Amino acid sequence: MKKNILLAAVGFLFFISGTDLIMAQEYKPLAHDVKKHTVMELYEPDLVLSVDERKHLKEKRESSIALRKSVLDTLDISERRRQRLLRKLDENPFSDQMNKTMAEIHFEDWDWDGEDQ
């Protein structure tokens, strides 16, 4: 009985010492070189949009996608067709098929006093 307890204690100590060695290893992530310019920027800098212009275009694109989603939610169509159109909108919001399916709708601000702006 004492022999079993002694063997279990020695085995436990070996286990603890082995895990201690495993834990002592350090993980060194690979250093990635950061490129400040793409190849296009190096050779044709006038063709590349600035960061502000890209952000503005991205915001414009996201707002038009949100507008199209809100229009699809308000259309009087079947739920199955609505879900299909929403999936297509997520895949490619400016495809020819999407433009054919949904007419270009531009909302105008309406003055509720009876006058159009």
**What average pLDDT score do residues 80-92 get?**
88
Report how many domains make up the chain. Answer: 1
28 within some domain: no
68 within some domain: yes
Concatenate the DSSP letters of all residues of 78-91 into one string. -HHHHHHHHHHHHH
SS3 34: coil
SS3 100: helix
Mean pLDDT, rounded, of the chain: 77
74 within some domain: yes
Q: Which of 40-44, 75-79, 85-89, 93-97 has the highest mean pLDDT?
A: 85-89
Query: Which among 91, 20, 41, 34 has a CA at the least distance from the CA of 83?
Result: 91
81 within some domain: yes
pLDDT band at 108 (very low <50, low <70, confident <90, very high): low
5-39 per-position pLDDT tens digit: 888 888 887 777 766 666 656 767 777 766 666 77
15 within some domain: no
CB 69 within 8 A of CB 89: yes
End-to-end Cα separation, the chain, in angstroms: 96
